[in-house]
Amino acid sequence: MSYTAPLKDMLFDIEHLARIDQVSQMPGFEDAGLETAQAVLEECAKLNEGVIAPLNWEGDKNPSSFKDGVVTTTPGFKDAFRQYAEGGWQGLQHPVDFGGQGLPKTIGAACGEILNSANMSFALCPLLTDGAIEALITAGSDELKAIYLEKLVSGQWTGTMNLTEPQAGSDLAAVRSRAEPQPDGSYKVFGTKIFITYGEHDMAENIVHLVLARVTGAPEGVKGISLFVVPKFMVNKDGTLGDRNDVHCVSIEHKMGIKASPTAVLQYGDHGGATAYLVGQENRGLEYMFIMMNAARYAVGVQGIAIAERAYQKAVGYAKDRVQSRPVDGSMSAAAPIIHHPDVKRMLMTMRASTEGCRAMASVAAAAYDAAHHHPDAEVRKQNAAFYEFLVPLVKGYSTEMSLEVTSLGVQVHGGMGFIEETGAAQYYRDAKILTIYEGTTAIQANDLVGRKTARDGGTGAKAIAAQIEKTEAELAKQDSANAKAVHLRLKAAREAFVDVVDFIAANARSNPNAAFAGSVPYLMLAGNLMAGWQLARSLLVAEELSAKGQDVAFMQAKITTARFYADHILSRVPGTRDAIVDGADAVTALAIESF
């Protein structure tokens, strides 16, 4: 059940792919070079390996419980959260002005992976708090910032996102919670919110709910939604906590996975209305909530990478210990550990390469985010913002779908024992399933990729990324090694298939939307596969160069082998996916509905 943070791989990505040396030249990040990254990751690993990871299995067996409006978290969670907050981990990426450490996302994302690998149920509480902090920094008044931000950044208080209602899932136009203006400038909120992660718990003294609701008389649809802060406990002028607000947990869900994370049903306004404070301007709530959602979507992608890494480590440990059958090549005369069998190696390599590819993609995306927000040159900021925005649905969609494949393979490696809960392999599979659903399903990420990120500019942004990939192909073509040559061919074929699909989407999005959107999820999977494969191709170039210089040869050779495997076994899926999208669109919608 133990977990070891993959620090070497993370630092390789941060140094060579995300280029932390360039990030640390940006204003505000001068002290955030490779040495800082290494020191922070090592400390993060220590806390998570020693304190938080051992609670993961416990949380699955003894999940959060609900009684008389009170939620009690898994034994050990409260103390672990205290240590997490005291270590300053909640404030890692947040501004120094509010007590944070102001570190780049390039470092923060790696810490997020470590935390989620250690214990995804636990990690959801800080993840939602991060989103609340982002929204308040962006749109909150100076008064709201003064009251709430330092306490949220320190981890003394936690935050939530309240979007979903029983009748309004992904369609937020259907939100019915209402907000009535009060003479003192505050509002009273009434309504029910469901699926509220850590909407009630015992780990912090206050919970700050960010709630979508309609002000009385607001326009219908998404244009009439506003965002409010609704604290669990009112905050006095001196910063101390006052009376309990009129927001109450009426139940928590019983779930397939992430069982230790309390998913609450919250009732607002049963006793006269919950006191609420407007964030930003009325009727702009969805715009502000998207700030939280974008931050959370990237973070959920990192959760996919994290759970895949945990499942991989578990499967490798089992494959090295489990003795079953003689190797097919006759190299051993007696039964041997199953890691000697080619198919087991294939499964483990698929798990490893998929995880490393998505980690590299997420690391590069984080660096683009940092440049988009901190680079002194406006044009560079703009280019990096566009690149990051394109990658967010891929990091979220592809990495989480990847985690399902990887955690399923983890169960498969264990054989029958994987189906038995006591081995722990099944928990990762169950926990992974939610990742393709919350913060926008894979289909919603794909709709975003098709509509906003591809069709809107006629594929210009996507093709600009393809041009960057071509430069990597040119670098690979110059190398003498068989591995570089093989990866070059796979990357070229995948990039050409990607461009074909971009053209198809751009041509059909308006004139034949059913055709464009029939292939939306396959397009997301194709694009994510290509971006991860591209980063592993870049890693191969670096690893070959460093290996030739005698630097950490075993690690670099493993990196090369993993990149080659990805190219041959995973990136090679791209051309077939292209055919399904471009040639197979009609077959998706051809069957009459009454024939289903």
Active-site position among 439, 473, 496, 594? 439
Q: What is the largest CA-CA distance in the chain?
A: 85
How does 437-468 read in b/e, with b if 16+ C-beta sit within 10 Å? ebbbbbebbbbbbbbebbbeeebebbbebbee
| End-to-end Cα, the chain, rounded Å | 44
**DSSP bridge pairs for 211:** 162, 228
What is the C-alpha to C-alpha distance for residues 555 and 260, in angstroms, rounded to an integer? 36
**Per residue in 517-543, is it b (16+ CB within 10 Å) or e — as a string?**
bbbbbbbbbbbbbbbbbbbbbbbbbbb
What distance in Å separates the CA atoms of residue 475 and residue 109, rounded to the nearest whole number? 28
Q: Specify the residue for token string 């998913």.
A: 263
- In sequence order, which residues have a C-beta less than 8 Å from that of residue 526 and are 6 or more positions away? 494, 497, 498, 501, 574, 577, 578, 581
Beta-strand pair 157-162/233-235: unpaired
- Tokens describing residue 83: 């240590």
453 token code pair? 């990120």
At 87, list the tokens. Answer: 């270590």
Alpha helices in 375-420 (DSSP H): 378-414
191: left (phi over 0), alpha (psi -120 to 50) or beta: left
Question: 199: which DSSP letter?
Answer: S
CA separation for the pair 455, 511 (Å, rounded): 11
Query: What is the b/e burial string over 568-591, where b = at least 16 CB atoms within 10 angstroms of the residue's CB?
Result: bebbbebbebbebbbeebeeeeee
Characterize 99-108 residue by residue with b for buried, 16 or more Cβ atoms within 10 angstroms of its Cβ, and e for exposed: bbbbbbbbbb
439 annotated active-site: yes
Reduced to 3 states, what is the DSSP secondary structure of residue 75? coil
Catalytic residues: 439
